[in-house]
A = this chain, B = another copy of it.
Amino acid sequence: MSVDIKTLAKNLNLSISTISRALRDSYEISDKTKLRVKEMAAKLNYQPNPYASSLRKHKSKTIAVVIPEITNNFFALAINGIEYVAQEKEYHVLIYLTHENIKKEIGFASHLQNGRIDGMLMSISAETNNYDHLIELKKKEVPLVFFDRICEAIESSSITTDDFEGGFNATEHLIQRGCKKIAYLDLSRYLSNSNKRMQGYIAALVKHNISIDERLIMRFTNNIAANEEQIVRVLSGAEKPDGVFASVEKLAIATYNVCQRLNINIPKQLKIISFSNLEISSLLNPSLTTITQPAFEIGKQAALQLFRYLEKKNMMNVHEKIILKSTLIPRGSTAI
A residues in contact (CB < 8 Å) with B: 2, 47-52, 54-55, 60, 62, 69-73, 76-77, 79-80, 83, 87, 92-97, 104, 111, 113-116, 140, 253, 256-257, 260, 278-280, 282-287
Of B83, B104, B114, the residue contacting A95 (CB under 8 A) is: B83
Chain B: minimal CB distance from A35 (Å): 22
Dominant secondary structure at the A interface: mixed
Q: Cβ of A83 and Cβ of B97 under 8 Å apart?
A: yes
Docked pose: A83 CA to B283 CA in angstroms: 31
Cβ–Cβ < 8 Å partners of A62 in chain B: 94
Docked pose: A88 CA to B299 CA in angstroms: 27
- As for how many copies of this chain the complex holds, the number is 2
Q: Cβ of B95 and Cβ of A116 under 8 Å apart?
A: no
Docked pose: A69 CA to B111 CA in angstroms: 28
Q: Cβ of A70 and Cβ of B80 under 8 Å apart?
A: yes
Of B50, B73, B96, B287, the residue contacting A116 (CB under 8 A) is: B50
Docked pose: A95 CA to B279 CA in angstroms: 23
Chain B: minimal CB distance from A227 (Å): 13
Chain B: minimal CB distance from A301 (Å): 17
Q: Cβ of B71 and Cβ of A115 under 8 Å apart?
A: no
Docked pose: A279 CA to B70 CA in angstroms: 14
Cβ–Cβ < 8 Å partners of A60 in chain B: 51
Q: Cβ of B55 and Cβ of A51 under 8 Å apart?
A: yes
* Closest chain B residue, CB of each to CB of A46: B114
Cβ–Cβ < 8 Å partners of A47 in chain B: 111, 113-115
